[in-house]
Structure 1
Amino acid sequence: MKNLFLVVLTLLAFNAFAGSNQVAEARFKPEQIAKFAKDVEKYAAKQGARAFIIARVGQPQSKLPKGIEFTHTAIAVYSQITVDNGEKVNGYAIHNLYQDGENGGESALVTDYPVDFFWGAYDLKAGIIIPTPELQTKIIEVITSGKNQLLHNPKYSLIANPFNSQYQNCTEHTLDIINAAIYQTTDKRQLKANAREYFDPQRVRVSGFKLALGGLFADGVTTRDHKGKVKTTSFGSIVRYLEKYELAGDTHIFRG
């Protein structure tokens, strides 16, 4: 019984590793988070990024499955932002898919900003992929036209299979936006067919027993959309994908 309890705790931590909830308690002082967020923005701006893929880490590395370094991925777009006093400023708006804090099996699309994005980060570390200028333009068009909303599946699973549309997590949603930009379509069947042909997902190296228990004890963990080995989308797999097809102008791990 003790071993079963430990496995359940492991799965609950595994479910939390997504770091894909919008609201989380800050581990750093607000001024530290604000400085780090601004430094990330400055780095991206210095590279001339109008749109880039950004990732954060929400759990200790020791709790993450092998090969997974970041727990939440989204897309940042240089935009005109209206601040609390009504003033308009230029900066990066971050387009996220966030897991629902109360119903872990559901998600919503939320736009926030770098300080919000890193507020609940476990470490002040960011993954950054700056696509080629042409791909940036296409990604921006997908988002500003609202096509990213057509790609949203509110049925959330932490380990969603990127090759079908049964469930979706934040990183798969990011991949779907990227592929909608590359292939100039929002047809989900076509996007999934193209993903199966060209995208190499991340193997999730957690035992099937633990994953099965996760589905019993934690919302947002299921293997129903998988056959055989469990594979999902990760920040690292997106890096490899874009580098393979020469669609990444720059990739960088930024540390505070």
Structure 2
Amino acid sequence: MNIFKQFIFILILLLPALSSAGSAGKQKAILEPEKIMTFAKKVEKYAASQGARAFIIARAGRPEKDLPKGIQFTHTAIAVYSQITLNNNEQVKGYAIHNLYQKVSELDKSTLIVDYPVDFFWGVQSLKAGIIIPKPELQNRIINIISSGKNKQLHNKNYSVIANPFNDQFQNCTEHTLDIINASIYQTTDINRLKNNAKHYFKPQKVKINPIKLMLGKAFMADVTTRDHENKIYTATFTSIGRYLSENNLLSQAIILEANKQVPLI
């Protein structure tokens, strides 16, 4: 094997932990479609049984072994109980999921997409969902932000998988979710104020990753950059959002729901 081929082989081995798979839209199903649909319905039924009108939802789009230490999910969004129009124009009640997804053709750019639980879980690596249910008043405020379209004002199309939640240079799906939550808490879409408040009250997740992986990711992956970080790398995660709401008495429930069990998130 020549030096170039050795380098490519090493690159393939090292990059998965920084891969953005799982933060894009509907992908090819890895698991059996029937199991995905059953699990998606289980998530909906669980949220409804808890009286959730809006909740934070997460999925694992990569094998857990490929994720940096302390990170369990690759994509986070907000689910809102809504009136949904089916293809046959029938109207039903269900959860619409408000996502920030990477663009397939431009991985360093994102777009806002609404999909539904089956779509959300279609490309998952495992039947595992993160569910954070805020207290009812915060749920109502989140719904108001989204129904008024103010969530779009909080969208930064410049995407980085390890975006710094304390500035607005780049954004990923979890930071966008955090921005919506904070806009709901503070009743403002002033991004400077939101970032300043995040610095004071939100504790992000330190990203523990091999420096070589990080260097290669920055060199070869459009959606990996550290330009918005100073020294150590911190990012918003599903779990850190759960802790944030819990520490500020804004949390009703936070769990990890699997096909055959559920466990507390924090």
Is 1:240 aligned to 2:259, yes or no?
no
Gaps of 5+ in 1: none
Cα distance in structure 1, aligned partners of 2:19 and 2:125: 12
How many percent identity over aligned positions? 59
* CA 175–3 in structure 1, closer or farther in 2 if over 3 Å, else same: farther
Is 1:79 aligned to 2:82, yes or no?
yes
Is 1:26 aligned to 2:29, yes or no?
yes
Gaps of 5+ in 2: 260-266
One-letter amino acid matched to 1:32: K
One-letter amino acid matched to 1:229: K
Is the CA contact (8 Å cut-off) linking 1:72 and 1:171 kept in structure 2?
yes
Aligned counterpart for 1:190 among listed residues 170, 190, 193: 193
Q: What is the Cα-based RMSD across aligned positions, in Å?
A: 1.3
Match of 2:145 in 1: 142
Aligned counterpart for 1:253 among listed residues 243, 253, 256: 256
Alignment of 1:32-111 (within 5 A): 32-111=35-114
Cα distance in structure 2, aligned partners of 1:183 and 1:121: 34
Cα distance in structure 1, aligned partners of 2:134 and 2:195: 21
Aligned counterpart for 1:5 among listed residues 5, 8, 18: 8
**TM superposition shift of 1:212:** 2.4
Match of 1:124 in 2: 127
Instruction: List per-residue Cα deviations over 1:40-88 (Å, max 9, x = no partner).
Output: 0000000000000000001111100000001100000000000010000
Cα distance in structure 2, aligned partners of 1:207 and 1:15: 10
Instruction: List per-residue Cα deviations over 1:108-127 (Å, max 9, x = no partner).
Output: 00000000000001101000
Instruction: List per-residue Cα deviations over 1:88-143 (Å, max 9, x = no partner).
Output: 00000000000111211000000000000000011010000000000000000000
Match of 2:175 in 1: 172
Aligned counterpart for 1:214 among listed residues 212, 217, 227: 217
Match of 2:205 in 1: 202
Alignment of 1:148-163 (within 5 A): 148-163=151-166
**TM superposition shift of 1:245:** 0.6
Q: TM-score, normalised by structure 1?
A: 0.97
The residue matched to 1:186 in structure 2 has which SS?
coil
Q: Alignment length, in residue pairs?
A: 256
* CA 152–213 in structure 1, closer or farther in 2 if over 3 Å, else same: same
Instruction: List per-residue Cα deviations over 1:186-231 (Å, max 9, x = no partner).
Output: 0000000000000000010013332122121011000000001000
Which has the larger displacement, 22-31 or 36-45?
22-31
Q: TM-score, normalised by structure 2?
A: 0.93
One-letter amino acid matched to 1:34: M
